[in-house]
């Protein structure tokens, strides 16, 4: 019978990815590494904290675009609920705004999905050792792009604008007056250089500000 050469102490990894095939492939490839063990897999952002509390991973590998809750929001949740868990963002969307938000949420690393699995495994080990690992090209782009011009409330108003929500709907959701919502939306439209709130939402998403 073949011997399992996995070290006694493996790096425990939680994997959050909404595409089942991608999640399974990542889990399989990472599981081939002798010192990495995938201890939890989830497909939605609102499942991350509960899974982490149950499995106690050393590193959480999170996508950004997840149903229920974004990986960026979940990263901030993990910092509060499971502070010993290091967060590594792995995404298709290498947007400068996403990188800044990930760092603000306490992530220890940010990589795009087009790299080899060996680099991902090395990044997992590096963030566990206390390093910060960021895709070099994305880091340079983030520095040149500058911070998001949107305030937190302007982001909230734009996020609440999807699916044809009216100003009244947004006001009720955010517990604000309709005039205040209009002011936030008008300011966001001006800052994004767009003509209306739907264009502002698209522009802000393209920059990774939402």
Question: What pLDDT, in 10s, does the model give residues 174-203?
Answer: 999 988 989 888 888 888 888 888 888 888
Strand ranges in 17-174 using DSSP code E only, listed in sequence order: 36-42, 59-62, 86-91, 109-112, 133-134
Q: What is the pLDDT of residue 161?
A: 86
For the domain spanning 152-207, the CATH number is 1.10.10.10
d(CA 94, CA 98): 7
Q: What is the pLDDT of residue 20?
A: 92
d(CA 74, CA 197): 26
Q: What is the pLDDT of residue 1?
A: 37
Are the CB atoms for 61 and 15 separated by under 8 Å?
yes
pTM over the 0.75 mark: no
Q: What is the pLDDT of residue 100?
A: 79
Domain 11-144 class in CATH = alpha beta
Are the CB atoms for 71 and 16 separated by under 8 Å?
yes
Nearest Cα residue to 87 out of 48, 138, 54, 42: 48
Q: What is the pLDDT of residue 74?
A: 94
Question: Which of helix, strand or coil describes residue 114?
Answer: coil
> Sheet harboring 109-112: ordered strands across?
36-42, 11-16, 59-62, 86-91, 109-112, 133-134
Mean per-residue pLDDT pooled into runs of 10, the chain (210 residues): 52 95 92 94 96 97 92 93 94 76 88 83 93 76 65 88 85 90 88 84 78
193 sits in the region (left: phi over 0; alpha: psi -120 to 50; else beta) called left
Domain limits, the chain = 11-144, 152-207
Strand partners, 84: none
Nearest Cα residue to 51 out of 78, 87, 26: 78
Q: What are the DSSP calls for 109-151, one per residue?
A: EEEETTS-HHHHHHHHHHHHTT--EE-HHHHHHHHHH-S----
Question: Which of helix, strand or coil describes residue 61?
Answer: strand
| Domains 11-144 and 152-207 in one fold | no
d(CA 63, CA 92): 8
Q: What is the pLDDT of residue 35?
A: 93
Q: What is the pLDDT of residue 19?
A: 92
Tokens of 150: 């949107």
């Amino acid at each position: 019978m073949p011997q399992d050469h996995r070290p006694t102490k493996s790096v425990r990894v939680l994997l959050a990815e909404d595409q089942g095939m991608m999640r399974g492939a990542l889990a399989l490839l990472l599981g081939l590494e002798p010192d990495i063990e995938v201890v939890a897999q989830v497909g939605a952002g609102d499942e991350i904290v509960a899974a982490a509390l149950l499995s106690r991973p050393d590193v959480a590998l999170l996508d950004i675009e997840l149903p229920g809750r974004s990986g960026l929001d979940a990263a901030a949740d993990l910092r509060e609920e499971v502070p010993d868990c290091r967060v590594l963002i792995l995404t298709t969307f290498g947007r400068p705004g996403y990188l800044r938000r990930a760092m603000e949420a306490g992530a220890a690393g940010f990589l795009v999905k087009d790299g080899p699995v060996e680099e991902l495994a090395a990044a997992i080990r590096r963030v566990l050792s206390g390093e910060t690992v960021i895709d070099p090209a994305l880091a340079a782009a983030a520095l040149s792009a500058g911070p998001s011009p949107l305030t937190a409330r302007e982001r909230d108003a734009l996020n609440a604008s999807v699916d044809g929500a009216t100003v009244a709907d947004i006001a009720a959701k955010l517990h604000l007056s309709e005039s205040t919502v209009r002011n936030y939306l008008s300011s966001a439209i001006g800052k994004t250089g767009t003509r209306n709130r739907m264009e502002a939402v698209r522009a802000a998403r393209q920059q990774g500000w939402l």
